[in-house]
Structure 1
Amino acid sequence: MVTWFATPSPTPDGPTVDELKGTAEHWFDWLLGAPLQTLVAVVAGVVLLAITRWLITRTVRSVVSGGAKVRRQAKRLLLKTPVRGALDSDSDPLAVARRVQRAETMGSVLRSTSALVIAIVVVTAIANINDWDLGPVLASAGVLGVALGFGAQTLVKDWLSGLFMLIEDQYGVGDVVNLGEASGVVEAIGLRVTQVRDLSGTLWYVRNGEVLRVGNMTQGWSRALVEVQVPPDADVDRAVEVLRAAATEIVADPELSPHVLAEPEVTGFEDLRAEAVMLRTIIKVAPAKQWVVQRALRARIRERFAEAGISMALPRQLFVERGEG
């Protein structure tokens, strides 16, 4: 009788089911860990950047388009100033160009700043997720930042000054300004320099960081001011009435009336000297229209004074005759 014994068959080489299951769980856990968290951080940063850029664009445009009008209306209500003409900034090409430039510049700066901040936050989050050691990188960046800070102090000063000038709306394209060394019409505003064209046609490039004061002659409203000197023995009351009549004619002029914002003010005895008495006429006008109104007012005053027989004061001259010897 022959007895057969069953021998176990050899198993094929390779991982078992348990090993395959453990490997799959390991890779799945890894995928749900750092890679997925990194992807979520990047996607969240991109979405946040898109939302921030959209909000900045809408906010800057609304502030630039409506802020100036709201401030003018509030000032009129507080001062209760009678307004004859209309300052329609929407139809003024210079005002439109000014708002567009402010909107584009401020929007560009804010979008760039938000992108930089969000990028730093995302990189920091990714570094924490992946356990990166950023110590050497931060140390190197700190040394480089200090070196660049010392070398770019003037550039940073100009950039910050230009940014605050735009935010505060100190002046814009088309304004006539006095910046100290340069005076004229503003042709362009940048974050580093402002371009000003003076009366002779010279284009000045003024660094924003060097501007210590700004005199804006055409912001909000302007004043046409004409001073007249009459002899001290003249009838001052009559001269004041003639001045008031001339100013009233200017206000009623069809070409000049749209530029006038308030009734004229005529005052006498603004200055009293031995050779003359000064009279003053002031008319509140739209921005940058004071020179046109002043020229017309001077011509009208000359005509009315000639008709009324009122003479202008002549500069006093003193001659000293010395005898011989």
Structure 2
Amino acid sequence: MITGVGQIDDRLVAGLHSRLTALNGISAEFQSLRDAFSAAGVSPFLLIFQIILVVALVGGVFIWISRRFRRATADRSFWRRFFAGVAAAILALLAGFIAARLLSRTDLEMRTLRVWTIFPVAGGITLFTLRHVLMASMPPAFPKPSVHMAGLVRGLSIAIGWALVGIGLIATLHLWGAGPGLMDLAGTGLVGIPAFLLFVIAVWRNKRTMVVAVAGSRPRSHWRGRLAKAWPAIVIGFLLVTFCTTEAAQTLGMPIPGSAILLTALIFIATPHLDTMISHWAQRGLESPSTSIAAAAGMQTARFAILVVMLALLETLWATPLAVGLGFGLQSVATNVFDMALIALGTAFLWNVIGTITGRALLAEVPTLGANPEALSAPRSRLGTLVPLLSGVGKSTILALAMLSVLVTIGVNVWPLITGLSVFGLAVGFGSQTLVKDVVSGLFFLIDDAFRFGEYIETSGAKGTVEKISIRSVSLRHQRGALATIPYGQIGKIQNYSRDWVIEKLMFRVAFDTDVELVRKLFKKIGQDVAADPEVAEDLLEPFKSQGIAEVEDGTLVITAKFKAKAGKQTMIRRAVMVAVHRAFRENGIHAVSKPITSSPAAA
């Protein structure tokens, strides 16, 4: 390893010396380039004028036809604009090739003009696609997305335009036989460093816009939010690594094509924004009742398909030359990769089918789930409780089968693995009786519908709101915030405070000479007033009323009252009743008596 590092170090030193030597001979290379033009009978200034003319013609035709297509139809959909751009690109290329044929007198001159015909069209298509992806990645509820995204689009457009012009310049110099020093100066000094700085400036000046776009709409996952916050720094780090790698490859004598570098940078920058755009589209399909489950799952799978396509492009750009260099057979590698990609897409589709069913069940359970995050903790029905648990089991099964299929595809014998897992599972079943008890107990608790997600329950060891239900345990969130995780086998008796209805009883200690009939009438009036309150009337099942004297204690009357309410809704009603009783007692001269504190004989 040390020897290999030393060899690379020697090659870097030798390559750097060679590059410096070539740069010192630029004046001679300029003269050689002028001789090449003279030998071909072409004036450099005339060629530059012809290049400008072809670029202006191609760009003008592309822009004019694109606008004509958009104005000819009222449909401004993406696909209409996409086909308009394709048609404009084809006609612009045709016009450029005809102009190159008419303007050129030599084959080398015509090839040069054809190069400059392709780059404006490639730039137009790239900028159109990038702008649409960036604009569509902004959250739908974000105000004026075009205004906030305009700076990023403009900065990236300048960087991409500079890079494309530079690649065209390098291609032209290569066609005319420019020397290594001149090519290095153009590639590094005129293209590489300026393009790198322009990309970094565009990302840094619009980092907040990129964070908002990558994060997407709420609710979002924790890892998505962290990725969004770190994304501008990640992009700048990637650009820096790409620039350094390119220069190192150039020094080692293995230059990387500029088109591959630019395409890699665009894929890396655009992929999260494209994923966010497809995520918004898939979310609309998930929430639309008219979209079938298969179609909604297909929309969700499109996100994974885009990731597979991007990885395939990067593999084609970088891994394929490496595989050829190492002697791998491309046909066998491509076949295995294609099979694994099909397995991955099938797995993603089945995964998203289960996710779509789960998501629609939760949306039906809580229609305002997306707009009101607090609704996530609301009590759910039996279906809303069981669906997430069944979803986790189904997704785990699909993932396990997919992993086994991938192993079979690459030629691994999975039967010993399956047999070993079966024996291990059998050993766990016999040896871990507590685990089996927890799983079986949980199964029967769920079958009996003893509790649901979001309900407030009390077990023999803890109480709180059901926040998580797994295969072997349930997690309860106490009202003070503590989270208790209890295995099903240790739950014992369950008291469910959130099911159906609850009767709330209140006790009032008043003086012995209090008019009990007056208290009864006041409580009846309070019950009518509370029942008429629109804020609590929906949750009140039976009005507040007096139950008379419950007992006489130490010369005081203990009067009880009660009301019936929906489970979990009694707290607000109790508060309203207590406020009304306090006001009624004060207005009618009824005095509440505190409970006497009796001292123990020892204290006496």
Report the TM-score, using the length of structure 2 for normalisation: 0.31
Q: Map residues 153-192 of structure 1 onto 2, 5 A cutoff.
A: 153-192=433-472
2:221 matched to 1:221? no
Q: What is the match of residue 412 of structure 2?
A: none
Q: What is the match of residue 387 of structure 2?
A: 103
Measured after TM superposition, the shift of residue 157 of structure 1 is: 1.0
**TM-aligned CA distance change 1:143 to 1:224, over 3 Å:** closer
Q: Which amino acid aligns with 1:155?
A: L
Q: What is the match of residue 517 of structure 2?
A: 237
Return the structure number with greater helix share.
2
Q: Distance in 1 between matches of 2:555 and 2:561?
A: 20
Q: Indicate if the aligned counterparts of 2:380 and 2:453 stay in contact, CA closer than 8 A.
A: no
Q: Map residues 188-267 of structure 1 onto 2, 5 A cutoff.
A: 188-267=468-547
**TM-aligned CA distance change 1:274 to 1:165, over 3 Å:** same
**TM-aligned CA distance change 1:189 to 1:247, over 3 Å:** same
Measured after TM superposition, the shift of residue 241 of structure 1 is: 1.9
Return the structure number with greater strand share.
1
Over the residues paired in the alignment, what is the CA RMSD in angstroms?
Answer: 3.5
Q: Distance in 1 between matches of 2:592 and 2:472?
A: 49
Q: Distance in 2 between matches of 1:188 and 1:143?
A: 28
Q: Indicate if the aligned counterparts of 2:365 and 2:384 stay in contact, CA closer than 8 A.
A: no
Q: Indicate if the aligned counterparts of 1:229 and 1:276 stay in contact, CA closer than 8 A.
A: yes
**TM-aligned CA distance change 1:271 to 1:150, over 3 Å:** farther
**TM-aligned CA distance change 1:280 to 1:210, over 3 Å:** same
Q: Map residues 24-63 of structure 1 onto 2, 5 A cutoff.
A: none
Q: Indicate if the aligned counterparts of 2:509 and 2:595 stay in contact, CA closer than 8 A.
A: no
1:137-193 superposed Cα distances (whole Å, 9 cap, x missing partner): xxxx89984x53442111111111111121211111211111122111111112211
**TM-aligned CA distance change 1:89 to 1:251, over 3 Å:** farther
**TM-aligned CA distance change 1:319 to 1:223, over 3 Å:** closer
Q: Distance in 1 between matches of 2:522 and 2:450?
A: 38
Q: 1:152 aligns with which of 429, 432, 435?
A: 432
Q: Indicate if the aligned counterparts of 1:267 and 1:279 stay in contact, CA closer than 8 A.
A: yes
1:113-139 superposed Cα distances (whole Å, 9 cap, x missing partner): 9xxxxxxxxxxxxxxxxxxxxxxxxxx
**TM-aligned CA distance change 1:203 to 1:240, over 3 Å:** same
Q: Distance in 1 between matches of 2:478 and 2:567?
A: 18
Q: Distance in 2 between matches of 1:269 and 1:230?
A: 10
Measured after TM superposition, the shift of residue 96 of structure 1 is: 4.3
Measured after TM superposition, the shift of residue 108 of structure 1 is: 6.8
**TM-aligned CA distance change 1:104 to 1:187, over 3 Å:** closer
1:239-286 superposed Cα distances (whole Å, 9 cap, x missing partner): 222122222211111211111122334201223322432222222212
Number of equivalent positions:
211
Q: Indicate if the aligned counterparts of 2:380 and 2:454 stay in contact, CA closer than 8 A.
A: no
Q: Distance in 2 between matches of 1:217 and 1:318?
A: 34
Q: Which amino acid aligns with 1:209?
A: G
Q: What is the match of residue 272 of structure 1?
A: 552
Q: Indicate if the aligned counterparts of 1:226 and 1:297 stay in contact, CA closer than 8 A.
A: no
Determine which structure has greater relative contact order: mean sequence separation of CA pairs < 8 Å that are 6+ residues apart, divided by chain length.
Answer: 1
Stretches of structure 2 that go unaligned for 5 or more consecutive residues are: 1-353, 369-374, 398-421
2:305 matched to 1:305? no
Q: Distance in 1 between matches of 2:425 and 2:533?
A: 66
Measured after TM superposition, the shift of residue 318 of structure 1 is: 6.4
Q: What is the match of residue 270 of structure 2?
A: none
Measured after TM superposition, the shift of residue 194 of structure 1 is: 0.8
Q: Map residues 4-153 of structure 1 onto 2, 5 A cutoff.
A: 93=375, 94-96=378-380, 99-106=383-390, 145=426, 147-153=427-433
Q: Which amino acid aligns with 1:154?
A: T
Measured after TM superposition, the shift of residue 230 of structure 1 is: 1.4
Q: 2:594 aligns with which of 308, 314, 318?
A: 314
Q: Which amino acid aligns with 1:151?
A: G
Q: Which amino acid aligns with 1:222?
A: V
Q: What is the match of residue 25 of structure 1?
A: none
Measured after TM superposition, the shift of residue 196 of structure 1 is: 0.7
Q: Which amino acid aligns with 2:456?
A: V
Q: What is the match of residue 100 of structure 2?
A: none
Q: Distance in 1 between matches of 2:512 and 2:439?
A: 55
Stretches of structure 1 that go unaligned for 5 or more consecutive residues are: 1-56, 66-87, 114-140, 321-325
Q: Distance in 1 between matches of 2:560 and 2:532?
A: 19
**TM-aligned CA distance change 1:144 to 1:216, over 3 Å:** closer
Q: What is the match of residue 289 of structure 1?
A: 569
Percent identity, aligned pairs only?
25
Q: Indicate if the aligned counterparts of 1:224 and 1:291 stay in contact, CA closer than 8 A.
A: no
Q: Distance in 2 between matches of 1:215 and 1:296?
A: 26
Secondary structure at the counterpart of residue 101 of structure 1: helix
Q: Distance in 2 between matches of 1:253 and 1:98?
A: 31
